[in-house]
Amino acid sequence: MTTSRIINFNPGPAALPLPVLEEIREELLNYKGAGMSILEMSHRAKEFEAILNDAIARTRRLLALDERFHVVFLQGGATLQFSMVPMNFLADNRSADYVNTGTWSTNAIKEARVLGKPIRVAASSEESRFTRIPHPIAFSPDAVYAHITSNNTIRGTQYASVPDTGGVPLVADMSSDIMSRPFDPGPFGLIYAGAQKNIGPAGVTLVIVREDLLARVPDNLPVMLKYTTYTAKNSLYNTPPCFAIYTVQLVLKWIEEAVGGLAKMDAVNRRKAGLLYSRIDGSGGFYRGTAEAGSRSLMNVTFRLPSEELEKRFIEEAARTGFGGLKGHRSVGGCRASIYNAVPLEGVQALADFMGEFARRNG
């Protein structure tokens, strides 16, 4: 870590691994002897095709995906997926279940309803101001799919394990915790993740879709809104976000080769989260976590201080000390440390130390 770089706790676009940034810098003007930058290269070039296929292969290995799953790269962020999912899978007026755990799942529900799709909110934690993950959840056995948001960046909650849908395919927005821990992909019909929080820069969305769900895609959708368009053309129907995919490929290589895979990534992430939650819980009430203990996120640690004035001072002093991105989301206020994969353990330790010192001076 160079002295001019902050410790980046931004919620998205978020930190990228320093070795990845250094490799991008090294290759920016002349990618592997091609005589041009990735930014200038045709998406039909053999060099980019190799990048794309490597990103797909690494996704398959890291997530242990079998041959039923397609891996594609789209644009439009997770927000476009809020409408694409019901457009593709609810064509015959059958219903889907949604679990509402905060802003992003609320928006997914709204988009499905804008399209006039019949959906059911199977569970919600709105009554507790989204401070927890609902449990138990009574999914309908007749639902075409069950939609969840696996990690909630604004409220700082996360599913500790994959919920049991009784065989109904899960559809998950994993934008903020994809590639942070191992999980069984078997129950999932579709996973989508905007890259800019945990696996890359803004501009590309990773979509993993199971073959059996593709049979539901109607013919009368616009071509760019059908999943089959992307699976049939290996994400190359039109010009994809090449540079963003290249960066995702480098991040996946870093996770697989430098970190050693998702089990080791998960262990590091749990250590990082433990440092901050221990500091919060051991502060004698000076810091107050906003998520219930059993629902706490390993990616986004949200907390409040005794007053908004102290929160403002905390964020300002933290910024002067070299910690960036600690202001909570504008809809809820408070403070938030987003400790995605690329945020180093020593950076989180430094923040925990700063929090302890700030509490001693201001408590």
User: What residues are labeled active site?
Assistant: 104, 173, 197
Q: Are 58 and 208 in contact (CB under 8 A)?
A: no
Q: Among 305, 306, 326, 303, which residue's Cα sits nearest to residue 316?
A: 326
Give the CA distances from residue 346 to residues 191, 318, 339, in Å, rounded to whole numbers and listed in that order. 31, 16, 11
Runs of H (alpha helix) within 282-344: 308-321
How many other C-beta atoms are found inside a 10 Å radius of the C-beta of residue 225?
15
Range 193-218 burial, b when 16+ CB lie within 10 A, else e = bbbbbbbbbebbbbbbbbeebbebbe
Q: Among 113, 117, 107, which residue's Cα sits nearest to residue 81?
A: 107
Give CA–CA dist 208/187, Å, rounded.
Answer: 12
Q: Are 361 and 353 in contact (CB under 8 A)?
A: no
How is 106-160 classified by DSSP, letter by letter?
HHHHHHHHHTT--EEEEEE-GGGTT-S---S----TT-S-EEEESEETTTTEE-S
Give the CA distances from residue 30 to residues 27, 33, 38, 41, 45, in Å, rounded to whole numbers and listed in that order. 6, 6, 8, 10, 14
